[in-house]
Structure 1
Amino acid sequence: MKKMIFFWLLVSCIGVAKAQYTLKATLKNKTTGEVLTGATIAEGKKTLPSSKDNSSISINKLKPGNHKLSFSYIGYQAFDTTITIPQTEALAIYLLPEEKALEEVTVVSSTRTNQRIENSPLKVEVLGKEEMDEENTIKPANIASILGDVSGVQIQQSSAVSGNSNVRIQGLDGRYTQLVRDGMPLFDGFSGGFGIMQIPPLDLKQIELIKGSASTLYGGGAIGGLVNLISKRPSYEQDGIVTLNHSTLTESNFNTYLAKRNKIVGYNVFAGITHQDAVDVNKDGFSDVPKLDAVVVHPRFFYYPSSNTTIALGYTGTFETRRGGDMQLIKGTADAVHQYFEENKTNRHTGDFVVEQNLGGGKKLEFKNSISSFTRNILTNTHFFKGNQFNYFSELSLFIPKEKYSWVMGVNAVGDKFTIKPSDPVLLNNFDNNTIGAFAQFTGKLFKETTLEAGLRADHHTQYGDFVLPRLALFHRFNEHWATRLGIGLGYKTPNALTVQNKDYNIENILPLPANIAAEKSFGYNAEVNYKKKFDGHSSIFINQAFFLTQINNPVVATELANGNVVFNNAGSNVTSKGFDTYVKLSLEDWELYAGYTFTIAERNYLPVNKFVTITPKNRFAFVAMYEIENNWRFGLEGSYTGPQHREEDYTKTPAYMFMALLIEKKFGQRITLVANCENLLDYRQSKEEALYTGPVSNPVFKSLWAPIDGRVVNLSLRIKLFSIKPNK
């Protein structure tokens, strides 16, 4: 009997010694709560075997006792902890993003596949959190300046009086760039006015840019490219920032952002106020910078009924008044001659509703909806106009990832309705646009290092008919240093008499669209080669050489008639833009260096002579040099060379010019940052080369703008971080 008892005790001890357990854990981004998949778990120098089960990681074959585990994920700080096995409850591990996560591992949302930027067949360039924080202290009121720093992107100011501007990509007009917020189009037609001039950088997590056709995923309008503005989301850590700014052009800004979430609910809220006095920089009697008063509010509420569901409800209100023209009138000393002015009063109300549902296995169902009402009053010394544009957008999409391929598919409806409110007489009538569409995109591995992406969109516009838009892209990595992308796609844009132009036209002179006008259709390709190499420490180099071509058939062209009216018609031939774009990014310990060159040939082939697209430089070069003493000082110098451009008025060439800027930043601990910045160090202005207007003071005709007109500007800003993110414990 004693021998039997001893035998069973021995067997039990052996069983305990050989017992192995499984630990389940979920890794999340500590600042956003986003689930991180594909993390590495190590014990000492040994990587532990693990498997994925929906959003959880199972760590297998753990013996009883204490285990010192390290959880790591690229772009995040590693988290070390001691776990006692057996552990019956699943763990939630929160990783803190590194302050300088490498751009090549950035995950972007514009691809809709959650791919890392370096592996995506669709080329996306990202201006991330660091750039948004910096721009918040340089140009707190809007994102126009930071977009203009990207190679191949040109910010075109269309009015000297109002300051209105639009985004041009790869030599094409601004109306071919689609501007969206979290994938939802809000800025087109009449509501596109002042779009990029009313979006503060503090309200954004990042900006994603696609150069070339993106119509398959985002519909009509993304012919030249796409600018996707990604909103911030609350994190588990309390977040709060206040920015105070003042410039030598008498611009003053107050911006604030607050955010926090817990397991069930979360919120974030942005509020900003801007005041700008009218300034006559060149002393010609007319404002070069309009008087501006603006208020922007953007609260969002988040509800998390489960770990797999996110519901977001938001509102954005933008209220702005711009007044420019004769300085005597603006200052209240007008007489019978000094009467010219233009005042724009805009109110933009936008509501958005988003539901995200993780279905397990990485599958994701998403519903987006937005409605927006944009009202603009235009008052001049001769005319008053008031109009409203109502926009709506709804989309249901499904993402299905597999080990070697993935699918994105969805349906959407988008439209707008323009209504003329009681005003002085205009030639336009009320009109609307309505489109329903469906899209599908396949992304799959052809070989280990080759990814193919094929997409197809079918749209039906109630007035202009049906459009089928295929797109094909290929990404291949030759080795750890070299890779290439190839992409080709179709696009279209329906005519709209109120879409943004390179030159603002008086709304009372715009004629209704002719009955026989047709939609514009495009064909485009992009090809590129990339080289990257990492050195010891924090040093690396990235080189991108890209080639592009876009051809637009049936281009809609504005013609000014002898009586001053403006009519839009299809031209007889096409518009083409082609060229190449080269940029180099170099990180050397505390130095960040960037240099980019863009060569563009943009031609209007429907013209017998002077085919070049006006106000478009053939050659543009830009550079940035940044030096940082960690957690103390930062110094930056940037510059750009813009080659000669053809004037709109007489096709003569403008001079080439240099633009320089200098930044000095000082940090006081973790929460306070003081920034001094000087834009246009060389004080280059178009008014130094030519008068900005012709005709009498009482009825001036302003020339097209091809260079800065606001001159040298110095600003001083103070950024206060109300809370600091606590390190992992």
Structure 2
Amino acid sequence: MRIILTFSVFIYCSFAAVAQSGSISGQVSSEGKPLPAVNLILQGTSLTVKTDSTGNYVFSKLASGTYKVQASAVGFRKMLKSLVLKEGEQVQLNFDLSNLQQDLNEVVVTGTLKEVKRLESPVPVEVYTPAFFRKNPTPSIFEALQNVNGVRPQLNCNICNTGDIHINGLEGPYTMILIDGMPIVSSLSSVYGLSGIPNSLVEQIEIVKGPASSLYGSEAVGGLINIITKKPQNAALFSADIFATSYQELNTDLGFKFKAGKNIDVLTGLNYFKYGNPVDHNHDNFTDVTLQDRISVFQKWNFKRKQDRIFTLGGRYVYEDRWGGEMQWNKSYRGGDQVYGESIYTNRWEVIGNYQLPVAEKLFLAFSYNEHNQDSRYGTTSYIAEQKIGFAQLTWDKQIGKHDLLFGAAMRYTYYGDNTPATTGMNQDLKKNTWLPGIFVQDELTLAPKHKLLAGFRYDYNSVHGNIFTPRFAYKWSINENNILRLNAGTGFRVVNIFTEDHAALTGAREVKVTHELKPEKTYNINLNFLKKMYAENGTFFGIETSAFYTYFNNRIIGDFDSNPDEIVYDNLDGYAVSKGFSANMDLSLHNGLKIIFGGTYQDVATYEHGVKKQQILTEKFSGNWAVSYKIRPLKLSVDYTGNIYSPMRLPLLSDSDPRKEYSPTWSIQNIQLSFAGFKNIEVYGGIKNLLNWTPNRGNPFIIARANDPFDKHPEVDNPYNLTFDPTYVYGPNQNIRGFLGFRLTIK
């Protein structure tokens, strides 16, 4: 009897113990995707588990008590969570490592012309992924850059809506645009090049602010925008991103890949944008938004070679037909003086490549060639231009002890011709072939584990302007892994090419004049950058990056709009110019799915001539950008609120009697988007752009001067201010509030 009683008690206690044991289980994910093979440790015990292929894990048969669970994975910082487990309780404990991904360890190439982790680069490089730009979908990279701090797409024409990219207040000709490191887009076609790159092919966009002429040569004065395309082997099998707006804009972006043999991967991208709905909400009988019909095709070939040597080859073709003008205009009026219109035909093709030589040393031959043809009519004024650019560069990457050396030799050929005063008279040499051979050397020296020094020097010989020298210096101090200080200094240069598709020079009644032989510009720059990161154990991340910059210009080429309202006079400044300021980027990510990105830039861009300081036209003192995102994970729904704000900028008036405001108001464009990812392989998104319904005609009697007489045939009729036709008073987009709806399909 005693034996039976003892056995019964043992069985009861065993069942009670089982009944009272608890468990901790859950899923580990990042950016909404489950993470397999993540290590989870129950601190204070010897228990360790890994997540399965669906990101799930479980700790079972746990007694009641307080536990700390740590999740760790390659490429992520560790995350620790605490909980109290009651008797018999099954607790669900999920980990979202999105905020702890080592995103600052991305590989970048733009700052030093070689692959390096972003945190290790002595040159500060900003990196933006497609996920950042999807917060506010746009039909082109040109428009997408409005969300980047210190970078502003500037519209230069109220009617045809073409423009350029400003970096820290410096205009488009001072910014070099590259695709995969190749300088295929120059001042002639910065806006057209950025408008024709299929977004489906973009891996990331790298931005360097400040002169980089010691590596990239002419035009890399204000900064660099390097568009890195995807590697074919890493791209999706097929992708589509299609959206439309209530303005009846349609943007289609397609990407697909295939194999052309055993060792060849091919990636193809297609972008088509169509807007053919003329609107005139401000009732001046001119189109508010330029009508466009654009197609771009890009193809990239990747060849597998022995010892994983690199060989890629890419090509792109862009065609665009855009026009704006009086609402009754059609192509039969092109170039005539009956109905005013601005019509631009653009044809552009380019080839780029990178080939690693079959030798033991790391020798790379990069090359590109492009041709750009433009046929434009601005009323009765024609602008017919052709530009050809060939580029080849051989680099040798060599490691010797603590010295990481880069040697290079480059050759750049440019032909530019147009039918404007830019290439006639004293500047007719600019119409001929221009050769720009150069050599450069760069040494990145590791002084100590926390200290790096970079020194570079470039020599170029321009067939028109002669010898050009551009040294460079950079220093990086890694105080610790979360605090980094960088100091960069150097020079930049820009050869003469005023590029008179400056629309103020081609529209209205102003006459273009070039009074002296133009000399090349030269700049001296210094930039101080500080990066700080802070991580919390619960997954919260806070990062801030600040920069102070100063650029001094000699021989600055400017257009004088003020001396004579009937003329634009291009000349080298009889004095100097300065661009200086301060910028800050802040990134806050909370473990509950809220993410805030904010950037602000204060800049002072001015010319100094005969003791008089003058603020640069169409340049704001302060700008800000933000993106607030929140993920509602149970509903698979994301909310994105984006926007920008700009302080007043000086605008081009025709005379003292011009009733339009001399300075723009403070203005802001704000947008909101909802994205749903609950379907397999499909994401649906939609929202509203320009929530404040802001347009630049607010507070002004008119935007286009003499819109009722665009050919100035009747200057004495209804002209109380004695003005001539002028559409150059523009500083922001003229589109009202509008909705958009689209979807993304990805097949891997």
Shorter chain as normaliser: what TM range?
Answer: 0.7 to 0.9
Equivalent residues in 2 for 1:77-88, closer than 5 Å:
none
Q: Greater CA deviation, 708-717 or 572-581? A: 708-717
Q: Is the 8 A contact 1:474 1:487 kept in 2?
A: yes
* Residue among 207, 211, 214 paired with 2:212: 214
**Partner SS, residue 221 of structure 1:** coil
1:118, distance to aligned residue in structure 2 (A): 1.5
- What does residue 611 of structure 1 align with? 614
Partner residue in 2 for 1:719: 744
Return the alpha-carbon distance in structure 1 between the equivalents of residues 374 and 76 of structure 2: 44
Provide the residue aligned with 1:8 in structure 2.
none
Q: Which runs of 4+ in 1 moved over 6 A?
A: 97-100, 331-334, 425-428, 507-510
Cα 1:712–1:338 change in 2 (3 A) is farther
Equivalence map 1:348-387=2 (5 Å): 348-357=348-357, 364-387=362-385
Q: Distance in 2 between matches of 1:698 and 1:453?
A: 55
Alignment of 1:108-507 (within 5 A): 108-111=108-111, 112-134=113-135, 138-139=137-138, 141-192=139-190, 194-235=192-233, 238-260=236-258, 264-277=263-276, 278-330=278-330, 339-357=339-357, 364-401=362-399, 404-420=402-418, 430-498=431-499, 501=502, 503=504, 505-506=506-507
Task: Give the letter aligned to residue 703 of structure 1.
Answer: T
Question: What is the identity, as a one-letter code, of the residue corresponding to 1:680?
Answer: N
Q: How far apart, in 2, do the equivalents of 1:213 and 1:508 lie?
A: 36
In the TM superposition, 1:700-711 aligns within 5 A as 700-711=725-736
Q: Contact (CA 8 Å) 2:294, 2:321: kept in 1 or not?
A: yes
Distance in 2 separating the partners of 1:720 and 1:99: 25
What secondary structure sits across from 1:407 in the alignment? strand
Q: 1:658 to 1:162 in 2, by over 3 A?
A: same
- Provide closer, same or farther for how the CA distance between residues 331 and 384 of structure 1 changes in structure 2, counting only shifts above 3 A: closer
Q: Is the 8 A contact 2:516 2:571 kept in 1?
A: no
Larger Rg: 2
8 Å Cα contact 1:329/1:338 also seen in 2: no
**2:627 aligned with 1:627, yes or no?**
no
- 2:704 aligns to what? 693
2-structure distance, mates of 1:419, 1:169: 27
Deviation at 1:300, TM superposition (A): 1.9
Deviation string for 1:2-23 (max 9, x for gaps)? xxxxxxxxxxxxxxxxxxxxxx
Q: Does 1:678 align with 2:691?
A: no
Distance in 2 between the 1:245 and 1:645 partners?
33
Distance 1:195 1:629 in 2: 37
The question of whether the paired residues in 2 share the 8 Å contact of 1:189 and 1:499 is answered with no
Amino acid in structure 1 at the alignment position of 2:694: Y
3-state SS, counterpart of residue 611 of structure 1: strand
Q: 1:552 to 1:299 in 2, by over 3 A?
A: same
Query: What is the Cα deviation at residue 284 of structure 1?
Result: 1.7
1:597 Cα deviation from its structure 2 partner: 1.7
SS at match of 1:216: helix
Q: Deviations over 1:543-599 (max 9, x none)?
A: 112101011111112236869554422111111011100121011121211122211
The one of 665, 673, 678 equivalent to 1:655 is 665
Asked if 2 retains the 8 angstrom alpha-carbon contact of 1:159 and 1:504, the reply is no
Deviation at 1:674, TM superposition (A): 0.8
By how many angstroms is 1:442 displaced? Answer: 0.9
* 1:189-220, Cα deviation, whole Å (9 max, x unpaired): 43445332333322311111001111111111
Alignment partners' CA distance in 2, 1:453 and 1:369 = 25
Closer, same or farther: CA 652–383 of 1 in aligned 2, 3 Å: closer
Q: The residue matched to 1:286 in structure 2 has which SS?
A: coil
Code of the residue aligned with 1:194 in structure 2: it is Y
- 8 Å CA contact 1:158, 1:504 repeated in 2: no
Bigger mean CA deviation after superposition, 691-700 or 573-582: 691-700
**Cα drift, residue 399 of structure 1:** 1.6
2:447 aligned partner, one-letter code: L
Give the aligned residue type for 1:578: K
Deviation at 1:541, TM superposition (A): 0.9
Say whether the 8 Å CA contact 2:232–2:300 is kept in structure 1.
no
Cα distance change on mapping 1:416 and 1:324 into 2, 3 Å = same
Q: Tell me the alpha carbon deviations over residues 314-371 of structure 1, each in whole angstroms, 9 at most, x when there is no partner.
A: 220101100110012249999x9961101000000112222135866xx632111111
- The verdict on how the C-alpha distance between 1:338 and 1:692 changes in structure 2, with shifts beyond 3 A counting, is farther
- SS of 2:287's equivalent in the other structure is coil
SS of the aligned residue for 1:621 comes to strand
- Offset of residue 463 of structure 1: 0.6
The 2-side partners of 1:313 and 1:326 are apart by 44
Distance in 2, matches of 1:715 and 1:168, equals 27
Task: After TM superposition, give the deviation of residue 170 of structure 1 in Å.
Answer: 1.0
Instruction: State whether structure 2 residue 649 is matched by structure 1 residue 645.
Output: yes
**Alpha-carbon shift at residue 127 of structure 1 (Å):** 0.8
How far residue 286 of structure 1 moved from its aligned partner, in angstroms, is: 0.6
Q: Is the 8 A contact 1:173 1:501 kept in 2?
A: no
Contact 1:174–1:502 (8 Å) recurs in 2: no
Q: Return the alpha-carbon distance in structure 1 between the equivalents of residues 458 and 120 of structure 2.
A: 23
1:132 to partner: Cα distance: 4.8
Alignment correspondent of 2:588: 586
Corresponding letter in the other structure for 1:220: S
Task: Evaluate the alpha carbon distance shift between residue 421 and residue 239 of structure 1 in structure 2; reply closer, same or farther with a 3 A threshold.
Answer: farther
Q: Which residue pairs with 2:571 in the alignment? A: 569
Q: 2: distance between equivalents of 1:306 and 1:98?
A: 37
Distance 1:98 1:129, change over 3 A: farther
CA contact (8 A) 1:132 1:204 kept: no
Once the two structures are superposed, what CA deviation does each residue of 1:442-476 show, in whole Å capped at 9, x if it has no partner? 11211111111111111110010111111111110
Against the structure 1 CA distance between its residues 403 and 532, is the aligned structure 2 distance closer, same or farther, given a 3 Å change threshold? farther
Deviations along 1:382-420, one digit per CA (max 9) or x if unpaired, are 144433211111111122245643111111111211245
Cα deviations by residue, 1:139-193 (Å, 9 ceiling, x for unpaired): 1x21123212111112110111111121111122222111111121122243445
Moved more, 475-484 or 434-443: 475-484
Structure 1 window deviating more from structure 2 (205-214 vs 648-657): it is 648-657
Compute the displacement of 1:259 (Å): 2.1
State the distance in 2 between where 1:682 and 1:717 align: 22
Look up the equivalent residue of 1:676 and give its one-letter code. G
**Structure 1 residues 203 and 124: CA distance shift in structure 2, 3 A:** same
Q: Distance in 2 between matches of 1:593 and 1:705?
A: 31
Amino acid aligned to 1:645: M
- Secondary structure of the 1:605 match is strand
Deviation at 1:516, TM superposition (A): 3.2
CA distance in 2, matches of 1:238, 1:602: 44
Q: Which amino acid aligns with 1:226?
A: L
Deviation, 1:670, is 4.0
CA 454–689 in structure 1, closer or farther in 2 if over 3 Å, else same: same
8 Å contact 1:175–1:500 — kept in the other structure? no
Aligned-residue Cα RMSD (Å) equals 3.3
Distance 1:248 1:209, change over 3 A: same
Q: Indicate if the aligned counterparts of 2:272 and 2:296 stay in contact, CA closer than 8 A.
A: yes
Write the distance in 2 (CA, Å) between the matches of 1:201 and 1:386. Answer: 29
The answer for the alignment partner of 1:516 in structure 2 is 517
Residue range with higher mean Cα deviation, 112-121 or 434-443: 112-121
Q: Which amino acid aligns with 1:471?
A: R
Residue identity matched to 1:571: L
Instruction: Report the CA distance between 1:500 and its aligned residue.
Output: 6.4
C-alpha separation in 2, matches of 1:239 and 1:492: 43
